[in-house]
Amino acid sequence: MSRLSGIEIQDALSGLDGWEFKDNAIRKTFTFETYMESIGFINRLAEIAEEANHHPDMVVGWRRVDVAFTSHDQGGVTLACIEMAKKANKC
């Protein structure tokens, strides 16, 4: 899967609530009512990522999780990143 251009990324992100393109990755901060809800989200997303073999960088904080997708193999954002962002929004 090849790397997307900046325009292709922006077009794809226009339909994805809360995602932004920054530092060669697409990123979003998810917020939750409790810390344990954020941990549940991480576990659900980790399962989906493992199935797809496309793993995000995730940073957990108090009631929030910062998620970033990029393809290290392709050196930037690919369609797989966009698809994983869509799945993350549904977790």
Taking 3-state DSSP, the helix, strand and coil percentages for the chain, each rounded to the nearest 5, stand at 40, 25, 30
The pTM score is: 0.90
Instruction: Tell me what pLDDT residue 1 has.
Output: 66
What is residue 59's predicted lDDT score, i.e. its pLDDT? 97
Is the model's pLDDT at 2 over the cut of 70? Answer: yes
Query: Residue 74: is its pLDDT beyond 90?
Result: no
> Given this model, what pLDDT does residue 75 score?
84
Percentage, residues of the chain above pLDDT 90: 88
Integer Rg of the chain from CA: 13
